[in-house]
Amino acid sequence: MNVRSLASLGLASLTITAWAKDDASIEGVVQLPPPTVVRALNQRYGTNVEAALTPSNPPAAVVYLEGNFSANAKPSDAVAQMGQKNMLFAPDLVAVHTGGAVQFPNLDDTYHNVFSYSKAKRFDLGRYRKEEKPSSVVFDKPGVVTVHCEIHDRMRGTVLVLDSPFFQKTDSAGHYRIDHLPAGHFTIKAWVNEADVRERVVDLKGGGRLHLDFPAK
Amino acid sequence: MMFIVVAITGATVYLAENNLRANQQRLLNAQFQDQLRSFLAVQDLRSSAVAEKCREISRSVRLRAALEEKDVDDLYRNALTELQDVFDPSLGATNSDDERIRASFFRFLDVNGAVLSPGDQPAGEVDPQALARTLIPTGHEPNDDDQSVAFIAINRGNDPSVLRQIVLTKIQGWDGNDLGALVLGFSMGQTQVLGGHGAEIKSGIWLNHQFYVADLSASDRHIVAQRVQSGFTDAGGNFIVELESGPHLLFYKALRSRVATAYDVCLYPLAESLREVRALRWEIIGLGLLVLIGGFVASSFLAKKLSKPVDQIVATSAENVTRREKAENDLVEVNRELEKALVELKATQQQVIQQERLSALGQMAAGIAHDFNNTLMPILGFADVLLQNDAMLDDKTEARRCLEMLRTSAKDAASVVSRLREFYRPADSNEEFPIVDLAKLVQQAVSLTEPKWRGLTQARGITVDVQTNFKTYPIVAVDESALREVLMNLLFNAVDAMPEGGCVSIETAIEKDRAVLRVADTGTGMTETVRRRCLEPFFSTKGEHGTGLGLSMVYGIIERHRGQLEIESTLGKGTTFVIRLPLAQEIEPSLASDAMAAKSKSALNVLVVDDEARSREVLMAYLRTDNHSVATASSGREALEKFRRRSFDLVVMDRAMPEMNGEQTARFIKQVNQNIPVILLTGFSGQIDEGATPAAVDVVLNKPITLDALRRTISKVVYVA
């Protein structure tokens, strides 16, 4: 771990302590859809036939506190990672605070070419291999960014760019826990996919612990 | 003469030329078909190349991503990259002889089929309205094909000669849902030069009543359009069109297209081949003239040679006259021989008929044997049962039942033998039958055949069930034993038809004025062929076990009774025999009370003459039953002695006796007393039939004789006469 990451960790802890006085927490379960079945789409290039059979990522969702907290909080310098492994984005769902950065390392032995045409962030990293470390991408607008690989048409990742620093990705069973939340009246959303975003309105009290489940619609 | 030679030569030349021309035409056709085939193969290849190219492009991740994000700029920009080796906007509204696959425009459609405007991006020129018109039927139509083809005309002034093949390819997202479509407008490969004669196939498209083809003058195009207007009816075909540039063979083939029917049209110039045909014709005519001149020279030689034999013919004509006379004589002789042969032939024919009759008699005998065995079986069966079962023998009712069975069977056996006679004497149309209860007959037949189907059940472990169902009790006038035989035959057949066991049901009913008898089995049934033939004599499905006579016998008996026989059979389901017999009008009291009448009359003195002791015993027993007094004689001589000593009322005598036979004895008896009735018994049925009773005999009775028959005969000759 280099100095830069240490510094960013320090900054992150500072951010958290800024809200520490309210220190509410919320936890629960998001009911997740079953794991997606791997569809062997027509491969544009016949180089990765076996890859079509690898399992896809386990399902997950992102739970976050809605609201614009940018005025109160500086974006984290922590760099999230969305690697490419076994012809898949791993993980294929990453959430970042607006202004946050994501790195896309290639962990496979073949070329990948990560790009997005999404409105929230348009970028194209070009083709690169394992050794070539791509520069990280900063996501400066909130929104859903769909990430593709030009070479492998089955690869698909999502970067969820949120205005809120209060978010948590669930585990594959749907469990989440967000600590150090401010008190107040909020909308809490669970983002499963673009077509499935569930929301609940909560009143958070200082030091309170809340259990909140998001059953499937 | 000369005229004939000229005509023949002319005809030969004509035929030769025709033949050659037809050959040439065939050759040409074959050649054309070959060229066309390779041309179409090239076109097919091109089509599949285009299709594959479009599919490949539509799978581009970038295009799909852009379409998903509805990012039209990125969409068209990326498409330019993807299409760089195909797309050539400079083609514009021109035709290209370029062999490569070139697209002159491309567009993207959104998921609803609406065209996404390329904006400032270069995407080639196309009339948006024309494109929209072409695509209308495609947009919302649910279509499983990922690709479809249409054609669009690109207007260039007033000359609509430029045509584009539009290939629409669906674009699907990562989850398999439709994102939209890619439309590519390809220039059509127009002309192909394909070896041979330097003839060039022109290819074009017929679409919306317009003919799009390169390098064809406006007037030629017009001619083709006019021909085509009425000519295209099928999926493909060919005909000849006369264009300004010469005759062409036009070939057309319907194209798979989403819009109005389009045809691939090929034009093949015939000028070259016609020229060849013409040259060929002159060659043949020249050759013909040569043959003609040669012919004249040869014929003049022949004429001189032929004039000599004509003189000789005149000289020998006198000789011919004598020859003809001889020939006429020969003819008369031959005719006579032929007539003789005809007579011989007729005689032979008679012989053949006679032999046929004899062999039929033999066959009949076989049939009799068959039936006789059938009737013997219950006799032997019940006799066996009685002899081996003391308890049953002691049980009077049971024993009596068995004995009655024995008697019935024995009677039937007798009637079987009696039918030998019927074989050469057709059934008497006025034959009168006793009146019988059909249901009773059925019951008897079932009992008589019981040993067979019961035995089968035990021997082979299969179950054969025989059921009777008497809806009504029809009374019919029939030959009892014959009808019993019919029933037994049908029952045996039914049992044989059920190798796995099953059920035979026998039903009696009255329908209109007929008695109906149904014998149905659940057996194997018959095929239509078997059903049609089963009544023929010697037709059997039982192989060695069948004589093929059972059913033909049945048919004969039914016919004799003026009845009908119907057969219904379903293979695998079973067979039903339906017998319809005329109902008896009423029971004649005289017939019914005959036996009673005979019994009530006074006792007679009867002389029984038979050389066989057992026969004498039976006759004696019969006569004593009716209280007649009986004297016996074992020969004709003894009979005469007894007859002279005392008077008798009646003589019953066997026909076949040693020394003096029955007829002779009868004659002597009649000499003594004219009024003594004589009943002659005969075991050789058929040797004397009732129609030819010997003069000295009153009645001939066929052996074996039943008590009833004897009573009836006695009452006839003694009391009635």
User: pLDDT of B590-628, one tens digit each?
Assistant: 444 444 444 445 788 899 998 888 888 888 888 888 888
Winning range, highest mean pLDDT, from B213-217, B449-453, B466-470: B466-470
Average pLDDT over residues B452-472: 77
Give B165→chain A minimum CA distance, Å.
Answer: 25
- Higher per-residue confidence, A159 vs B314: A159
Tokens of B374: 């059938």
Contact A150 B61 (CB under 8 A): yes
Q: Is residue B335 part of a domain?
A: no
Residue B620 shares a structural domain with residue B521: no
Q: Is residue A135 part of a domain?
A: yes
B62 CB neighbours in chain A (<8 A) are 115, 117, 148, 150
Q: Is residue B630 part of a domain?
A: yes
Residue B618 shares a structural domain with residue B660: yes
Q: Is residue A46 part of a domain?
A: yes
Reported as a pLDDT band with limits 50, 70 and 90, residue B2 is low
Whether B414 shows a pLDDT value over 70: the answer reads yes
Judged by DSSP in three states, A143 sits in strand
With an 8 Å Cβ cutoff, is A44 touching chain B?
A: yes
Tell me the C-alpha distance between B222 and B211, whole Å.
8
ipTM: 0.76
Whether A203 shows a pLDDT value over 80: the answer reads yes
B65 CB neighbours in chain A (<8 A) are 115-117, 146, 148
Residues 6+ apart with CB under 8 A from B145: none
Whether B34 shows a pLDDT value over 70: the answer reads yes
With an 8 Å Cβ cutoff, is B62 touching chain A?
A: yes
Average pLDDT over residues A74-102: 84
Which region among A12-21, A137-146, B288-297, B645-654 has the lowest average model confidence (pLDDT)? A12-21
* Residue numbers of the domain that contains B698: 601-720
Whether B215 shows a pLDDT value over 70: the answer reads no
* Residue numbers of the domain that contains A52: 3-211
With an 8 Å Cβ cutoff, is B177 touching chain A?
A: no
Whether B446 shows a pLDDT value over 80: the answer reads yes
Q: Is residue B712 part of a domain?
A: yes
What's the pLDDT at B579?
A: 93
Average pLDDT over residues B402-426: 71
Residue B568 shares a structural domain with residue B442: yes
User: Which letter does DSSP use for residue B568 in this model?
Assistant: E
Contact A44 B69 (CB under 8 A): no
- Which site among B55, B60, B61 would you substitute to test the A interface, given the most A Cβ atoms closer than 10 Å to its Cβ? B61
Winning range, highest mean pLDDT, from B31-35, B583-587, B674-678: B674-678
Residues A156, A159, A164, CA angle at the centre, nearest 5°?
Answer: 160
Residue B67 shares a structural domain with residue B177: yes
- The burial of A162, by beta-carbon neighbours within 10 Å (0-12 exposed, 13-18 middle, 19 or more buried), is given as buried
Give B180→chain A minimum CA distance, Å.
Answer: 17
What's the pLDDT at B422?
A: 52
pLDDT above 90 coverage of chain B, percent: 4
Q: Give pLDDT tens digits for B325-362.
A: 888 888 888 888 888 888 888 777 766 665 655 555 56
Residue B468 gets the label, from left (phi > 0), alpha (psi -120 to 50) or beta, of beta
What's the pLDDT at A85?
A: 86
Whether A5 shows a pLDDT value over 50: the answer reads no
Residue B439 shares a structural domain with residue B541: yes
B73 CB neighbours in chain A (<8 A) are none
pLDDT above 90 coverage of chain A, percent: 23
Reported as a pLDDT band with limits 50, 70 and 90, residue A186 is confident
Q: Give pLDDT tens digits for B135-161.
A: 765 444 445 567 777 777 766 555 545
Tokens of B390: 């003391």
Q: State in Å, rounded, how far the first CA of chain A is from the last one.
A: 42
- Specify the long-range contacts of residues B252-258, CB closer than 8 Å, at least 24 apart: B252/B206, B252/B228, B253/B40, B255/B149, B255/B151, B255/B205, B256/B148, B256/B149, B257/B149, B257/B150, B257/B151, B257/B207, B258/B134, B258/B137, B258/B138, B258/B148, B258/B149, B258/B150, B258/B168
Contact between A197 and A132 (Cβ < 8 Å): no
Taking CA atoms, B607 is separated from B622, B632, B644, B678, in Å, by: 13, 6, 12, 10
Whether B520 shows a pLDDT value over 90: the answer reads yes
When CB atoms are compared, the residue of B59, B71, B175 closest to A44 is: B59
Judged by DSSP in three states, B486 sits in helix
Tell me the C-alpha distance between A6 and B16, whole Å.
106
Which region among A44-48, A81-85, B259-263 has the lowest average model confidence (pLDDT)? A44-48
B74 CB neighbours in chain A (<8 A) are 117, 122
Contact between B68 and B171 (Cβ < 8 Å): no
What's the pLDDT at B94?
A: 52
- The burial of B468, by beta-carbon neighbours within 10 Å (0-12 exposed, 13-18 middle, 19 or more buried), is given as middle
Q: Is residue B206 part of a domain?
A: no
What's the pLDDT at B231?
A: 64
User: Which letter does DSSP use for residue B718 in this model?
Assistant: I
The residues facing B166 across adjacent strands are B150, B185
Q: Is residue A217 part of a domain?
A: no
A141 CB neighbours in chain B (<8 A) are none
Burial B50-78 (b: 16+ CB within 10 A, else e): beebbbebbbbbbbbbbbbbebbebbbeb
Average pLDDT over residues B101-113: 83
In total, how many domains does chain B have? 3
Give me chain B's average pLDDT, please: 77
Residue B559 shares a structural domain with residue B676: no
- pTM for the structure as a whole: 0.45
Q: Is residue A216 part of a domain?
A: no
In total, how many domains does chain A have? 1
Q: Is residue A157 part of a domain?
A: yes
Q: Which of B552, B582, B612 is the last residue of a domain?
A: B582
Tokens of A13: 């802890």
Q: Is residue B353 part of a domain?
A: no
Q: Give pLDDT tens digits for B44-58.
A: 777 788 888 888 888
Q: Is residue B108 part of a domain?
A: yes
User: Which letter does DSSP use for residue B70 in this model?
Assistant: T
Contact A117 B176 (CB under 8 A): no
Reported as a pLDDT band with limits 50, 70 and 90, residue B195 is very low
What's the pLDDT at B519?
A: 93
Residue B565 shares a structural domain with residue B624: no
Q: Is residue B205 part of a domain?
A: no
Q: Which of B152, B169, B187 is the last residue of a domain?
A: B187
Tell me the C-alpha distance between B373 and B485, whole Å.
12
Q: Give pLDDT tens digits for A145-162.
A: 999 998 888 888 999 999
Give B69→chain A minimum CA distance, Å.
Answer: 6
Tell me whether strands A196-204 and A184-193 are parallel, antiparallel or unpaired: antiparallel
Tell me the C-alpha distance between B186 and B123, whole Å.
13
Q: Is residue B676 part of a domain?
A: yes
Q: Which of B130, B163, B187 is the last residue of a domain?
A: B187
Supply the CATH number for residue B108's domain: 3.30.450
Residue B652 shares a structural domain with residue B574: no
- The burial of B453, by beta-carbon neighbours within 10 Å (0-12 exposed, 13-18 middle, 19 or more buried), is given as buried
Tell me the C-alpha distance between B553 and B537, whole Å.
8
- Higher per-residue confidence, B304 vs A155: A155
Reported as a pLDDT band with limits 50, 70 and 90, residue A42 is very low
When CB atoms are compared, the residue of B61, B175, B176 closest to A148 is: B61
Number of H helices, E strands in chain B: 19, 23
Contact between B163 and B257 (Cβ < 8 Å): no
Q: Is the dihedral of CA B532, B534, B537, B538 positive or negative?
A: positive
Supply the CATH number for residue B454's domain: 3.30.565.10
Residue B566 shares a structural domain with residue B679: no
When CB atoms are compared, the residue of B60, B65, B68 closest to A44 is: B60
- The burial of A102, by beta-carbon neighbours within 10 Å (0-12 exposed, 13-18 middle, 19 or more buried), is given as buried
Give A87→chain B minimum CA distance, Å.
Answer: 14
State the DSSP string of B272-336.
Answer: HHHHHHHHHHHHHHHHHHHHHHHHHHHHHHHHHHHHHHHHHHHHTHHHHHHHHHHHHHHHHHHHH
Contact B71 A117 (CB under 8 A): yes
Supply the CATH number for residue A176's domain: 2.60.40.420
